[in-house]
Amino acid sequence: MEDLKLTQLQEMEERYERLLPRFEAFNEELEAFQKVYQDYILLREYYASEDWWQLQEELPADYKCGVLSQDRLYNLIQDHDELIADLLELSHRMYRNR
């Protein structure tokens, strides 16, 4: 067998070994994320709701509650939107290469 073909075979084996654990981990994380995604929907609905504004104004300053921080939930929503864009791009690439 030619050395070039053996080299290529080795490269393909290395690619497979590099990809497989990440592929499996991605699938596991995707399943876990789907199970808690309803939490995001509820947080998104809660953000800037009447209850949210009322608690933000009335809660004692020393009461620890990060979800009343405007930045914390806003940043989560922005991260969510960026993730959507990344997943759409990835899914498009994956679909083209199936």
**Digit-coded pLDDT (tens) for 23-68:** 999 999 999 999 999 999 999 999 989 999 999 888 887 888 889 9
pTM: 0.82
d(CA 80, CA 39): 12
| Cβ-contact 67, 56 below 8 angstroms | no
For residue 13, give both structure tokens.
């084996």
pLDDT tens digits, residue range 85-95?
A: 999 999 999 99
Specify the pLDDT at position 70.
82
**CA–centroid distance for 74 within its chain:** 16
